[in-house]
Amino acid sequence: MELSLVPLRLGPLTPPGFAVGRSGVRWLREDGALCRAGEAIAYCNIGLIPVRGARQLDNPFTDEASDLQVAFAPRISGRLRRSTASSRGGFLDRLNLFQFWEPDFVLGQLEPVEGSTPARPGPEDELDLLFMTGRRQADVTEGRHGLLTGWHNRARAWRASDDAPLGSVLGLGICDMSGVIRGESNAFLELFEAIGGPAHAILSDEEPMMPSARIVIEQTLRTKAEYDEIAADLIGHFASIGSQVEPSEWIFLASLLQALRRAPLAETYDILSRTGLSHTGPADAVVLSAHAEAALVVRHRRLGYTLRVHGHRLGQPAPNVDPWLRANFERVDRTLDDVASDYRDLVAMVRAAPARLPQRLLIMNRMGTTGDEDLQNYAGFDLPMASTLSSIFAQDLNLVLHDLAREPEVDIVDVDAITAEMGGQINMPDNVHTSGALQAETRAEVLHILNARGVPGFGPAS
């Protein structure tokens, strides 16, 4: 029996008060590829063009409009037939200035395959839309060469519905979390293919800071006046040095100021759907990484704010940054009791502000063993051994998290157990950076917890 080809139409995109411009289509799958239902096959850049009429939001995506994109996924499985009219190449496929969004535009066709994966809800000839955008570190840090490329201090993606609640999860971590939330695609595609409902995922990049519990608390509670004093102190110091400050150091310092100014837990977000614009936030849940916690931080001697900076960033040539840190910050040695106290303070802070902060905390724990440690006798190490041996610190920190999980707002993502089951050092050779397989298993556990805790939209796709 010959199966008819199903057209892949854009479908409507009609936010009140705006027309939608778009670029040409860029493909993620080859012509003739066998594609799954819900798998992103192509994408384009889009832009909102004000027109006459009532609007649900004024000036939406204020600091994200330059990198607004949409990925297309078929609602059924089948073999892809790409249209030659979908792409013009060059900058016409990168800029959203040259075409209008037309609901009946067909970017390709799909030859259905019998016995394939279950279909997604909705008309099979209308593509499913996954919206995404990023907030640039600065306007000049664009990168239009791919999906969610460029230097963003916040990236996010969502699948929206006009008649269903939109659950949100915020990732506040370091490199061990990036692949869990954004996936191998770096564009959240794996996460959204795994879930069924409308949902929203955000990854906030706090570079060069590491978002420990104490730093997240300080970010959330810091007033504008306090930030202004921090900025004046930092800028004044380096301005007095003048041309001796390397351009790379200014980039480091500007990024640091950006992170000190932000309060990711309290941020809100603009959302575009098929027929409207809305504003949402803060996120329902936040995912943190225990790798951001350490036995040593520094605190500004006069202004009192905490810094925990990636060590490899400080290892780069920084003739003026290093002396500034040594002269203006004091070393603070922290015990595991201090870390536990910070986590409890974080729980108390979100509990006290149910309308303004996420109400679920997921914490990814640490791998408690190292493949290259062959100590037979620990008698030569002073107590507490956690201050000397990273593996002991990790094990004791995991116990702290175990106790913290008694709080109703807290869930532990047991990366330690997942890693052990998958082969330990094979998937995490340096105890921080993880393989794609381990990221996928950790992502599945995060989604399982979100679904179990009732965060809307994060249930399985089938």
Is 100 exposed, middle or buried, given 0-12, 13-18 or 19+ CB atoms closer than 10 A? exposed
Name the domain count of the chain: 3
Percent of the chain whose predicted confidence (pLDDT) is above 70 = 93
Task: Determine if residue 122 is left, alpha or beta; phi over 0 gives left, psi from -120 to 50 gives alpha, anything else beta.
Answer: left
| pLDDT (0 to 100) of residue 163 | 80
CB 37 within 8 Å of CB 119: yes
Place of tokens 């970017």: 107
Tell me the mean pLDDT in the region 413-441: 87
Residue 47 lies in a domain: yes
Q: Which of 439, 424, 444, 426 lies closest to 179 in space, CA to CA?
A: 439
Mean pLDDT of the chain: 91
- Look up residue 255 and give its DSSP letter: H
Residue 253 lies in a domain: yes
At a CB cut-off of 8 Å and minimum separation 6, what does 100 contact? 19, 20, 21, 22
Q: Is the four-CA dihedral 382, 384, 388, 391 of positive or negative sign?
A: positive
| pLDDT (0 to 100) of residue 1 | 41
Do 117 and 238 sit in the same domain of this protein?
no
Domain span holding position 351: 154-212+273-294+334-462
Residue 218 lies in a domain: no
| pLDDT (0 to 100) of residue 388 | 57
Residue 180 lies in a domain: yes
Question: 287 forms bridges with which residues in the sheet?
Answer: 171, 362
Do 164 and 91 sit in the same domain of this protein?
no
Q: Which helix (H) or strand (E) holds 152?
A: strand 152-159
Do 289 and 413 sit in the same domain of this protein?
yes
DSSP helix/strand/coil, 288:
strand
Q: Which helix (H) or strand (E) holds 444?
A: helix 436-452
Do 445 and 382 sit in the same domain of this protein?
yes
Do 46 and 177 sit in the same domain of this protein?
no
The rounded distance, in Å, linking the Cα atoms of 213 and 344 is 9
Residue 402 lies in a domain: yes
Q: Tell me the pLDDT tens digit for each residue of 54-96.
A: 999 999 999 999 999 999 999 999 999 999 999 999 999 999 9
Judge whether residue 270 has pLDDT over 80.
yes
Q: Tell me the pLDDT tens digit for each residue of 398-416.
A: 999 999 999 999 999 999 9
Residue 1 lies in a domain: no
Judge whether residue 203 has pLDDT over 50.
yes
pLDDT band at 19 (very low <50, low <70, confident <90, very high): very high
| pLDDT (0 to 100) of residue 389 | 53
| pLDDT (0 to 100) of residue 429 | 80
Tell me the mean pLDDT in the region 271-295: 95
CATH for 456: 3.40.50.1110
Do 229 and 285 sit in the same domain of this protein?
no
Task: Determine if residue 272 is left, alpha or beta; phi over 0 gives left, psi from -120 to 50 gives alpha, anything else beta.
Answer: beta
Q: Is the four-CA dihedral 379, 383, 389, 392 of positive or negative sign?
A: positive
Q: Are strands 360-364 and 296-300 parallel, antiparallel or unpaired?
A: unpaired
Judge whether residue 115 has pLDDT over 90.
no
Higher pLDDT pick, 116 / 335: 335
Q: What is the CA angle 204-207-208, rounded to 5?
A: 160
Residue 12, both tokens: 């409507």
pLDDT band at 423 (very low <50, low <70, confident <90, very high): confident
Do 29 and 136 sit in the same domain of this protein?
yes
For 183, 212, 433, the CA distances from 297, given in Å and listed in that order, are 30, 10, 22
Q: Are strands 167-172 and 199-204 parallel, antiparallel or unpaired?
A: parallel
Judge whether residue 373 has pLDDT over 90.
no
| pLDDT (0 to 100) of residue 428 | 82
pLDDT band at 370 (very low <50, low <70, confident <90, very high): low
Residue 268 lies in a domain: no
Query: CB atoms < 10 A from the CB of 456, how many?
Result: 17
Global confidence as pTM: 0.93
